[in-house]
Each structure stands twice: as C-alpha cells, then as structure tokens.
Amino acid sequence: MTGSLEQVAQAIRAYNKFLITWHIDPDPDSVGSGLALQLALQAAGKEAVCVSPDPLGDWSRFLPGIESCKVFGGELGSALDVDAVIVEDCEPARCGGLVPYLQSGVPVINIDHHGTNRGFGEAFYIKPEAAATGEIIYELIAEYLQIPLSQPMAANLYAALAGDTGTFRYSNTNSRVLYIASELVRQGADPAETALHLYENRAYEEVDLIRAALDTLEISPRGDMSWITIHRAMLGENHWSGQQSEDVIRYPRMIRTVKLAIMFRELEPSRTKVSFRSRDNIDASRIAGLFGGGGHTYAAGCTLDMPLQEAKALVLETAARILASNSAEQSGG
C-alpha cells in the first residue's frame, strides 16, 4: 500500500469540479470505477466528467452514465477546465493523449491497484492487494466519503469487480471481493446482465478475430509458455477494445502446463503491445517491467517500439530464460 485513502478523500472534499480519467485500452474496471465515482461526486453536489483517453468498446454501453463519458480526441476545450483530475486504475503516464494535460500543473489525485505504480499527484492511494480499482472506489464512496450507494453506482462497481476478477474466478478473488460484490448486488447490481454484456455481446467480427488468433497459437518446447499473435491486418478497419485481450489470451492460459501466456499485438509497423498472464509464482509484472511496462503479479503488459517479429523474438527469449531459472530455483538447482 502506498499513500492513503483518507488523504484522497480529503483532496476530493476540498475541490468542486473534477475530470476523471483512466488508462488507454479501457476495461470494465477503469470505466466502471470512473462512472461510479462520477455519480457519487455528483450525488455529493460536485461537478464531475469522465474523459477516456481511448474509444470505449461496445461492451461498455450498458454501464449507467456511459452516455455522458467523453472520449479525448485532442481537443476538449472547457471540459479540461477543472479544479482537479482523478486518474484511476493506472499511473498518469498511461493516459495516452491526456498525458501532456496531466503534466500541465492541474492537481492530480491518483487511485490505483497496480503494484508497479509508485503513486502520483498531490494525493494518491495505491493498493495492490485490491482485486480491482472498483474495490478501492467502493471503500472511498461508502466508507470514506459516506455517500449512499445508488443502483447506478452499484452496477458500475460490480462491472469493475467482475472485469478484473474474470467474474470471480482469478486468484485475486477473496472474501472481501465477494462481500463487496454481495453488497453491490443488494444495491441492485445484476450479475447475469453484467456477464451477458461483458462476455456474450460481441460483434461477429470480434469472434471471427478469435478464430484467426487461434490459428497463431504456439507453445514452447517445455510446454510452460504459450502465445498468440494478432497482426494488424486481422483487425481490418475495426478498433481493438481492451475486452478482446481477455477473449484471446484465455486460450494459451487454458493449457494445463502453461505458466506464462503471452499475446503479441501489432499496433503499428514498429510498435507492439505485449500482454502477459501467469501463474505458479511467475511474476508477470516483473517481465513486463523489463520492457518498460508493468501491472500485477499475474496480469501485466508492455509496449515495445519494435516491429512485431523483433518484439516477439526478444520477449520470448527473455521469458524463456526467466521460466527456466524459476524452475531451476523451484527444484533446488
């Protein structure tokens, strides 16, 4: 834990007009947390607007309040004229086109659960033990700011928790998460509807992309590492939504022997995004950190300024070395 939630609550009490933002490739945790916080601040008589640094996927359309969310396209005029910016679910450097604005002197409040975030701004709270940023936002709203939780806030926070726990399946699912989820359902969040929107609401093209992606599935000779490759051409004119990473990377991680699942995604001819999912004490955030990225122990990512093939060769070689030294350590060698 870094910083304090009380300090964050104090900063929020002190200001009146907020802009809330999150990371590029927005996911249910970042967007659900942002909308819930926006609704809570408005319920407390403050002004708040959510601004996403990247377009939102179709999956987000069911979230209450999503229609008021703006997407940053280089210009926002008076929307940027606020008392403070709340950056949640990431460090300010991951806010894409909004980074220069965040460095312009506007007060920043940072709330996150990524262990690789050291905390930024005049008030921050980084809690890596939190399964989702939504868990921290729940504590902030219900316990610190003591704003009554409405159904729209609960629906957003439930989506946030569901998103980052793989709907309560991943190793970050614990009794605290399930307790909060239960409270959110009591306030009107709908588990079945949330799952339907998150997992069974894809366009045909998105499922067709999974088919093409599966064709690229590979595995290491030892069977401990498996990866999938998304070429730019596979996307056509479509925009990649953060939710699709989960759709695709689940396949290499499904394999019994795999300790490290990787997805390579070509962003531009010489920019490659890499996603990691791990288990059995393999620290994915450490591997991502070697390439300037970060994240959590079992889910992390980075972006390399390299063509796809070059990035693949470098990452696979590095990861194989780490897996080999880890298994040598575990066998006492």
**Binding site residues, ligand 5GP, CB under 6 A:** 23, 25, 94, 114, 116, 245, 275, 293-296, 299-303
| Binding residues among 135-194 for Mn ion as defined by CB under 5 A | 164
32 binding partner (options ligand 5GP, Mn ion, none; Cβ < 5 to 8 Å by kind): none
Give the shortest CB-293-to-ligand 5GP separation in angstroms: 4
| 139 closest CA partner among 278, 40, 16, 272 | 40
26 binding partner (options ligand 5GP, Mn ion, none; Cβ < 5 to 8 Å by kind): none
Give the shortest CB-112-to-Mn ion separation in angstroms: 8
Give the shortest CB-110-to-ligand 5GP separation in angstroms: 13
Q: Give the one residue of 19, 20, 25, 29 binding Mn ion; rule: CB under 5 A.
A: 29
Interatomic CA distance for residues 205 and 212, integer angstroms: 10
Interatomic CA distance for residues 18 and 231, integer angstroms: 38
Residue 128, classed as helix, strand or coil, is coil
Cβ distance to ligand 5GP smaller for residue 46 or 286: 286
Cβ contacts of residue 273 below 8 Å, gap of 6+? 264, 265, 267, 301, 302, 303
Cβ distance to ligand 5GP smaller for residue 116 or 150: 116
| Binding residues among 113-142 for Mn ion as defined by CB under 5 A | 133
Interatomic CA distance for residues 265 and 312, integer angstroms: 10
Under 8 Å between Cβ of 38 and 9: no
| 5 closest CA partner among 176, 167, 119 | 119
φ, ψ dihedrals at 165, nearest 5°: -105, 10
7 Cα distance to chain centroid: 23
| Pairing mode, strands 225-230 and 218-219 | antiparallel
Cβ distance to ligand 5GP smaller for residue 30 or 194: 30
252 binding partner (options Mn ion, ligand 5GP, none; Cβ < 5 to 8 Å by kind): none
Cβ distance to ligand 5GP smaller for residue 142 or 161: 161
Under 8 Å between Cβ of 65 and 31: no
CA-based end-to-end distance of the chain: 34
25 part of the interface to Mn ion, by CB under 5 A: no
Cβ distance to ligand 5GP smaller for residue 16 or 116: 116
303 binding partner (options Mn ion, ligand 5GP, none; Cβ < 5 to 8 Å by kind): ligand 5GP
Interatomic CA distance for residues 11 and 46, integer angstroms: 13
Under 8 Å between Cβ of 95 and 22: yes
Stretch that binds Mn ion, among 6-14, 23-31, 47-55, 191-199 (CB under 5 A): 23-31
302 binding partner (options ligand 5GP, Mn ion, none; Cβ < 5 to 8 Å by kind): ligand 5GP
Give the shortest CB-175-to-Mn ion separation in angstroms: 19
Burial 208-229 (b: 16+ CB within 10 A, else e): ebbebbeeeeeebeeebbbbbb
Interatomic CA distance for residues 229 and 216, integer angstroms: 6
Cβ distance to Mn ion smaller for residue 15 or 22: 22
Give the shortest CB-321-to-ligand 5GP separation in angstroms: 21
Cβ distance to ligand 5GP smaller for residue 65 or 294: 294
Q: Give the one residue of 25, 89, 91, 266 binding Mn ion; rule: CB under 5 A.
A: 89
Cβ distance to ligand 5GP smaller for residue 9 or 160: 160
Give the shortest CB-103-to-ligand 5GP separation in angstroms: 17
Applying CB under 5 A, which residues contact Mn ion?
Answer: 29, 89, 133, 164
